[in-house]
Chain A
Amino acid sequence: MKLDPWPFVIAAYAIVAVAVAVLSLLSWRAMRRAECAVEESRRA
């Protein structure tokens, strides 16, 4: 029986979009936190 490919295509796109968004967000947050800590240590 041939499977409808669209649920598989949509699942692949959704997983990649979520994974790249989470990775980008976590990397950006780690960068901002670390750079803010440097600024704070300079002021202290």
Chain B
Amino acid sequence: MPAVHALANPARFLRLARPLTPVLFWLGLALAVFGGWAGLTQTPPDYLQGDAVRIIYLHVPTAWLGMGGWTGLAIASLAYLVWRHPLARVAAQAIAMPGAVFAGLCLVTGSIWGRPTWGTWWQWDGRLTSMLLLFFVYLAYMALVRADNDRGGDGRIPAIFGIAGTVLLPIIRYSVVWWNTLHQGQSIGLTGSTIAMSILWPLFYTLAGFTLVFAAIVLMRMRALLAAAKAEARMRRKAAA
């Protein structure tokens, strides 16, 4: 925990973030491109779904980052409410846009996967509907942040919203267990997978790759927010002098 507090110093954070941003981005991109290429060309088609299964290499990482993004946003929001670290507020705000994009991509890739597999683009079942709700919750969070900034708020209301939104995560996770859904049940868990390793292995590359790209994008957005705040503070000081 002391290491987290030390990193909450913006100057110290920037010293670490500047060299880390390109490393995370290019390494992540290389892994994601390799995983995507391997998923398209190096794995056999599924016995039931055929080549449509190749969408898994995009759909799972985007779902993971859509949900993981909100987990990060909620942790940062909690850190902001408890310790009042401004960097935690910046982190939560920086996660929102990439989180929303990845949640949206999860819905789009799932829909595209559904058409040749289920015969429909969309179904109002538990998993799809709860993921759509998460996407809307991201949009609501971003609107709330903008409104809070406009009225000079201290960021507490978006932070509380960020924590409250976590209620959706177990609903998404267990929706395939609680309700009869068109979406398949859990096939990848911490203890193993029901998918053959000959099909599964490129997923590890795309998962790691997209996660690193996501982290790099969050760092870029945090650096932008910190720089904008610094420039504004400097202008205010000059105007007051």
Residues of A within 8 A of B (CB): 2-6, 8-9, 11-13, 15-16, 19-20, 23-24, 27-28, 30-31, 33-35, 37-38, 41-42, 44
Q: Is the CB of A30 within 8 A of B220?
A: yes
Q: Is the CB of A15 within 8 A of B109?
A: yes
Instruction: Knowing A30-B221, A37-B227 are in contact, say whether A9-B51 is a contact too (CB < 8 A).
Output: yes
Flag the segment in B112-120, B137-145, B173-181 that touches A. B112-120
The A/B interface has a contact count, at CB < 8 Å, of 96
Q: What are 8 A-B contacts with C-beta separation under 8 Å?
A: A9-B55, A15-B109, A23-B217, A24-B217, A37-B231, A38-B234, A41-B235, A42-B234
Q: Is the CB of A23 within 8 A of B97?
A: yes
Interface residues as binary, B80-109 with A (CB distance below 8 Å gives 1, 0 otherwise)? 000000000000000001100100110011
Question: Interface residues of B: mostly helix, strand, loop or mixed?
Answer: helix
Instruction: Knowing A3-B116, A9-B54, A38-B231 are in contact, say whether A23-B101 is a contact too (CB < 8 A).
Output: yes
Residues of B within 8 A of A (CB): 25, 32, 36, 40, 49-52, 54-55, 58-59, 62, 97-98, 101, 104-105, 108-109, 112-113, 115-116, 210, 213, 216-217, 220-221, 223-228, 230-231, 234-235, 238
User: Which residue of chain A is the closest to B108 with respect to CB atoms?
Assistant: A15
* A3 surroundings in chain B (CB, below 8 A): 115-116
The 5 A-B residue pairs whose C-beta atoms are closest, nearest first, are A34-B227, A5-B52, A27-B220, A30-B224, A31-B224
Among the listed B25, B50, B225, which residue makes an inter-chain contact with A24, where contact means beta carbons less than 8 Å apart?
Answer: B25
User: Which residue of chain B is the closest to A33 with respect to CB atoms?
Assistant: B224
B164 to chain A, nearest CB (A): 26
B113 to chain A, nearest CB (A): 7
Q: Is the CB of B234 within 8 A of A16?
A: no
Q: Is the CB of B227 within 8 A of A38?
A: yes
* B59 surroundings in chain A (CB, below 8 A): 12
A12–B40 CA distance with the chains assembled, in angstroms: 12
B62 to chain A, nearest CB (A): 7
Q: Is the CB of A35 within 8 A of B54?
A: no
Q: Is the CB of B227 within 8 A of A8?
A: no
* A5 surroundings in chain B (CB, below 8 A): 49-52, 54, 116
A38–B36 CA distance with the chains assembled, in angstroms: 38
B12 to chain A, nearest CB (A): 17
Instruction: Knowing A5-B51, A13-B58, A24-B217 are in contact, say whether A31-B227 is a contact too (CB < 8 A).
Output: yes
Among the listed B101, B221, B235, which residue makes an inter-chain contact with A19, where contact means beta carbons less than 8 Å apart?
Answer: B101
Among the listed B25, B105, B116, B216, which residue makes an inter-chain contact with A16, where contact means beta carbons less than 8 Å apart?
Answer: B105
